[in-house]
Structure formats: C-alpha cells, structure tokens
A and B are shown apart, each in its own frame.
Chain A
Amino acid sequence: MNGETHQCKVTITNPNGFHMRPAATFAELAGQFQSSIIVFKDKDQRINGKNIMELLLLAAEPGTELTLEVAGPDASAAMQVLAQLLAAPSVDDFLKERQMAEG
C-alpha cells in the first residue's frame, strides 16, 4: 500500500467499554477508507478494524489504551476520525461532534 503508516494511542472513555455500538460504528466507518486499519491492545494481537467480529473480541473495558495503526492513501483522514470515535465517551457524542464539524 502506498502512503504512510500512522500510529496513535487512544484511551477508551466510554463507560460501557468498546462494546457493540461503537464497534459497529467503527467497523462501518473503517470500511469506507482505503487504508488498512489495525487496532490492538498488545502488540501480538493485531485486529483488523474493518472486521466487526474481531473488534468485538478485543473486549476493551473503559480505561484500556488501544493502539490504532493506519496505512494507506487516506491514512490521515482515517486516523483522525477513527481516533476520535475510539476516544469518545459515547457514540452519540461522536456523531454530534462530526455533524457540527461538517455542518
């Protein structure tokens, strides 16, 4: 893949952890980007961010620090949005902020 590899660390603040709704939203969003999206807690557990099943198995409780690794042509755009989602205290908050940013 062309483009750079971006990495950043994000802490889960959603009180329910990274559960079904944020995971589903994340997977759907990630699927819209060309870049590869990898998420992990530990280095040896690299999860495909476009795969909802794998994301669910991440089982990230609130306070967990996740690493987001994005590589590809739209990497920086992907990184910005996805990191924001991971860090958001709730999916609704994230969606509201996005709307405000766009609108």
Chain B
Amino acid sequence: MEIKRGVPVSGGVAIGPALVLDTEWFRIPQRFIEGDRLSEEIERLHQALTASALEARESQKAVSAKLGPQCGAVFQAHALMIEDGNLRKEIETLIREKGHSAEYAVSLVMRRYAKTLESIGGTFATRAADLFDIEKRILYNLLGHRRENLQHLTEPVVVLAHDLTPSETASLDPAKVQAFATEAGGRASHTAIMAGALEIPAVVGLGKFLTDVSGGDLTIVDGNRGVVIINPDDETLQRYELTRTSFRSFESRLEELRLLPAETRDGVRILLLGNIEFPQEATHCLERGGEGVGLYRTEFLYLGKQRDPTEAEHFDAYITVVRTMGSRPVVIRTLDLGADKFPTGTEMVSGERNPFLGLRSVRLCLRNLTLFKTQMRAILRASALGDVRIMFPMVSTLLELRQCKMILAEVKEDLEDEGIMFNPKVPVGTMIEVPSAAIMAEQMAREVNFFSIGTNDLIQYTLAADRNNEAVSSLYSPGDPAVLRLIDQVVRAANKNGVEVNVCGQMSGEPVYTMLLLGLGLRQLSVTPHNIPEIKKIIRSISLEEAAHVAQEALRLETARDVNNYLREQTRRVLPEVVD
C-alpha cells in the first residue's frame, strides 16, 4: 500500500482501477488472467520480448549509422535489457505465480527497476526514462491492435498522469473517469478545472509517484484530504468505502437544498452567486442553486490562442452565459492576465522579473486600448440582453479606476454613434484585491456601483507571500488578522456608501469562514458552483446575531492560527459535517 499526499482541488472519494497516462496513452486492459491461459500468456510474452529486442537492435543500427555509435548505444542497451534472461524470468514468475497478465507483469517489473534507479539519484535517475521507454515498447508489442481506445473505456477508471492538458482530457470518455490525480499542477490547473466541471475528486501536486503505480492497480483518490492510496490494504479500503457512501449521501442531501433559499435562521436573505470560467459552467452554476454569476473570469478567451479574441468571440461567450442566466445578474470581469500569457501581451513586455507586480490586468489594458475596448464593446452589447455588470481587476489607485471609467464612457459613445444597443446604466464595479484599493475603499466606494473582494490575491499581496511557494505558503491564510481587518474596512466603506459588496475568492467557498463573512456585514458571496450547496447549508443553520458575535471575537484574536481554530470550533458547533 502506498500513500501519497498532494493538493486537494475537487472533493469526494473515488475508488477504482488506475489508468496511467503515459505520453503514449497505454492502458493495461487487465491485471489478471485465468489459470488455464498461463502458458499462452507466457508465449505472448516471449513473442513480444523477441519482437521488441529485434526492434531495438534495428534502431541501434539505424541510429549508429546516422548519428554514430555513441547514440546508437542506447538502443544496444535497451536490446540487452529486453534480451536479459533474468528480466524475462522475473516477469514469467509473476505470470505463473500471481496469475498476472503479461502487460501487468511487464509494467510491475519495469517500474520496480525504474524506481530503484530513481532512488539512487544522479545520472542513474535519468536512466529510469529508458526503462519506461522499454516498457512502452514491450507493451506496444503485447497489445498491438488491441490498444484500447481511450474514448471508449470499458470500465470506470481513476486517471493518473504527470499533468493533464486540455487536449488529453478532451479524448477521455468523461462518463468513465472517476477521478484525477497528477504529479504536477495546482489549484488553478487545468486538472482542477476539469475535475470541478465533472464534479469528480481530484488531487494534484503529488510529486513523482507514477513509478509506484501500474495500470489497473486499485487506487483511492480522496479529494477532500488530498490523499491518493495505491493498492490499499483491506482495512483502508473498507474505511474508504464507508467514507464514499456517507459522502454520497451528504452530497444528495445537499442536492435537496438547491430549491431552498439561502436564508439565515433569523430570516435574512443572502445572495449566493457562482464563479465561472467557461460559458458552459453557467448551467452548472444554476444546477447547484446559484442565483447569478458573481464573477465571470474571461481569461480563457485569451489563453493558449494564436491571436487575441475578436469582439464577436467575446460576445458569443457572454451571450451564452446571459441566455442561461436569464434575468439573473452576470458580472463580467475584464482581462486579468499577465503579459506573458497571451499573444499581444508578450509583444508588449519581455521577461518580467516580478510578473505578479508587473504589467497585468487593468495596467496592461490601459496600455493596450484596442484590447480593452474590444472587450468592453462586447460586454456592453451583452448588457442590452440581460443584467450584465462590468468589473475591473487589480485596480490599485483611484486614478486607474477613473481611467477605466473614462475608456468605458468613450466606448459607450462609440456604440451610440454606431446605433448599437447597450445598457447606458450598466453597473460598474471593481475588484478589491490590491491592499491599496482596500485601504482606499471609502474613496473608491464613491465611484463604483459594487465591489468584489478578491481574497486570493488580497491575501498574497497583504502578507507578501506566494501561496504556491511551499517555503512561505504557511503565511497565506484567509484567517490572518490583517486580512480580516482589510475585509472589515472594505465592507464598512461599501455599506456606508450604498455600494454592493461580495467576496469572490476561495475564502467565500470555505464553510469555516461563512459565519465570519456574514458577521462582518457581507450579504452576498460568489462561490465555485460546486460549493454553493454547502455554503447555503451553513447560512441556513446560523443567525446573523451569532455571526456578528463570531466576527467580533475573531477580530480580537492575534494570529491566523487562533482565528482558524476559533472559526472551526464555531462552525463545528453549527454544522459538524463540513468541518473534517
């Protein structure tokens, strides 16, 4: 049994056979074969080994002729390994004694060797790659035309990979994927997003672990705790089967909440909105009981493309969301990316040393008005067809905010001249995520219709700690007293000036902070759709009086740890099952 720990990015528990995505996408169809097929299986193994060795020798000749014997030598070594009598014996033994299929036996043995080489380290660790190469070659010869089409998996699997890219996940049959677990990646990775959209458990950032798994190994992915277990022992397996069952019933109870209002025990309505990234997520948001889109992140329109999106492309995406949402509010945030992430951006800047403190988001847009205005035009056009609101990210000074509003006014004039419809009173808001904006919240409140507190970045900038940097990520905590005071300040400024305010960072989706946020005066939260039911449940279990008291107490505490412990305790009293 191997236990690995990583970053949980999508909750739930999955138990199933592993599908290990190598670069060549092999899937080992089965781990065991029937007893009467053993000698057949061994014969298959021999044939595959012979064919593989022959191929390797041919590669050796061809490569040596083209590039010299030094390069060809690698294939000589491969051939020798494949021809090695002991290797063959080890694999045969697994087949004979354990009844493993040839594919599974090959994979087990090769990975064991690879792991040993990796643990020696140094140049020998890189040789592990050769062993994977040999494994693939032998598997290719074993599977031949029987390579399973990944789009038509025959059973539900747990997908394990180094990392998942959009094109890889595009070829998987989503109905058969139970969970994802990757070596690389973080909360904002494609894996996390896909898992969220599919509502399946996912754990990322596990570090190297693929050498410990073979296709078909029984794997548990615990997306709540960020744990992956390979070949669990009976006790662990039983325990997780129970957890999975109770989690499922918890989930179905949450589903019942969908039609109930997010109302506190003392009758105050809280507006629960969803954070989305793709237009398709709007449906998901509604399904989970969201009452609008509090944050539509538009970055996906720009990422990984060869050129910037056209106004039509913007508009198509926005209109999809607006149609899904009907008369519910949709807050569209303008481009919030660093220059390094998209075509014209990279032309503007070369090699920033501090991209998070650099030319990004509105700063970038203010320097590239074509980009900015194109997006604004599309947002304004969409405002004619629904309750669309526009929001600017990373505003750090009043001057910046005023400049954005001026550009917006210009675009409105242009559209008017062209006779294109839009809402002249489109609500304008700003993200509060840079500490300077939080400190100047009072002044900013006089110039906008709404605020959205972006706690993810606010916490990073306030504590000057990168949450993806393991060395300092412990400083990053939504419960930090400095962060609480800033949120408090922003909410007071908003309430005093009749400006709507919500929190849209991850903090809003964590149940332990709900009482605090409501107690500080927030009446709106924008949350990842997946978490909406849970937050609603907490809201329905508390009174604002209680929440205000909790917030007061929390503000008295001096360290993040004390705050977090206190909040967990208070939340546990109200709804123990959301605190693990």
Q: Which residues in A have some Cβ–Cβ distance to B below 8 Å?
A: 16-17, 19-21, 23-25, 27-28, 48, 51-54, 56-57, 59, 61, 91-92, 95
Q: Which residues in B have some Cβ–Cβ distance to A below 8 Å?
A: 69-70, 73-74, 76-77, 80-81, 84-87, 113, 116-117, 120, 122-124, 127, 130
Min distance, Cβ A55 to any Cβ of chain B, angstroms: 9
Q: With CB as the reference atom, state the residue of chain A lying closest to B82.
A: A52
Min distance, Cβ A46 to any Cβ of chain B, angstroms: 14
CB-based contact A92/B70 at 8 Å: yes
A interface SS class: helix
CB-based contact A17/B123 at 8 Å: yes
CB-based contact B127/A20 at 8 Å: yes
- A61 to B120: give the CA distance in the assembly, Å: 12
B interface SS class: helix
Min distance, Cβ B524 to any Cβ of chain A, angstroms: 61
Which B residues are in CB contact (< 8 Å) with A16? 123
Which B residues are in CB contact (< 8 Å) with A25? 73, 76
CB-based contact B77/A52 at 8 Å: yes
CB-based contact A91/B73 at 8 Å: yes
CB-based contact B84/A21 at 8 Å: no
Among candidates B77, B85, B116, residue contacting A23 with C-beta atoms closer than 8 Å = B77
CB-based contact B123/A24 at 8 Å: no
Min distance, Cβ B354 to any Cβ of chain A, angstroms: 39
Min distance, Cβ A95 to any Cβ of chain B, angstroms: 8
Among candidates B77, B86, B113, B116, residue contacting A21 with C-beta atoms closer than 8 Å = B77
Min distance, Cβ A94 to any Cβ of chain B, angstroms: 12
Given contacts A20-B130, A21-B70, contact A53 B77 (CB under 8 A): no
- A20 to B125: give the CA distance in the assembly, Å: 12
CB-based contact B86/A51 at 8 Å: yes
- A16 to B127: give the CA distance in the assembly, Å: 13
Which B residues are in CB contact (< 8 Å) with A17? 123
Min distance, Cβ A99 to any Cβ of chain B, angstroms: 12
- A16 to B51: give the CA distance in the assembly, Å: 31
- A53 to B115: give the CA distance in the assembly, Å: 13
Q: With CB as the reference atom, state the residue of chain B lying closest to A16.
A: B123
Which B residues are in CB contact (< 8 Å) with A52? 77, 80-81, 84
Among candidates B74, B76, B87, B120, residue contacting A53 with C-beta atoms closer than 8 Å = B87
Which B residues are in CB contact (< 8 Å) with A51? 84-86
Q: With CB as the reference atom, state the residue of chain A lying closest to B85.
A: A51
Given contacts A20-B127, A23-B77, contact A56 B117 (CB under 8 A): yes
